[in-house]
């Protein structure tokens, strides 16, 4: 079974960029424009990893992490925060995320971290 990533990002161009980077690495993904759309998608499928922006409209990134952690079906889903909020790097573990990438991201770093977490 192929691993799948859910990209939760309110900036369409950024979401498209992430999707393209992952597709070139052979990693399929789906996109959600905000936390509410992501929550609806998560009722349909269980991704192996979520790339999550923190500054989302509606259900924000922190609430999205709580949503993921509260669903037993998603207990093995890895979370990578992808945000421009550099000052939050030290709080990643507190939020319950596995990793944190700062924007703008390095495509190579994104692929490396996603593959590493998918292989755990």
Q: What is the average per-residue pLDDT within 85-109? A: 77
- The span from the CA of 115 to the CA of 3, in Å, is 10
- pLDDT tens digit sequence for 1-18: 467 999 999 999 999 999
Helix 61-70 × helix 35-42 angle, to 10°: 20
Domain ranges of the chain: 5-118
With a cut of 70, say whether residue 94 has pLDDT above it.
no
Overall CATH class of domain 5-118: alpha beta
- pLDDT tens digit sequence for 27-73: 999 999 999 999 999 998 999 999 999 888 888 888 899 999 999 99
Local structure of residue 105 (DSSP, 8 states)? P
- pTM score above 0.75: yes
């Amino acid at each position: 079974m192929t691993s799948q990533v859910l990209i939760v990002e309110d900036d369409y161009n950024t979401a498209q960029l992430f999707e393209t980077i992952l597709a070139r690495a052979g990693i399929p993904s789906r996109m959600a424009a905000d936390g509410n759309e992501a929550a609806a998608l998560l009722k349909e499928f269980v991704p192996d990893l979520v790339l999550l922006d923190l500054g989302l409209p509606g259900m924000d990134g922190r609430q999205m992490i709580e949503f993921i952690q509260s669903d037993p079906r998603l207990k093995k889903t890895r979370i990578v925060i992808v945000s421009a909020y550099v000052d939050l790097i030290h709080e990643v573990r507190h939020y319950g995320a596995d990793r944190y990438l700062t924007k703008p991201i390095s495509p190579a770093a994104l692929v490396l971290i996603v593959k590493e977490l998918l292989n755990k």
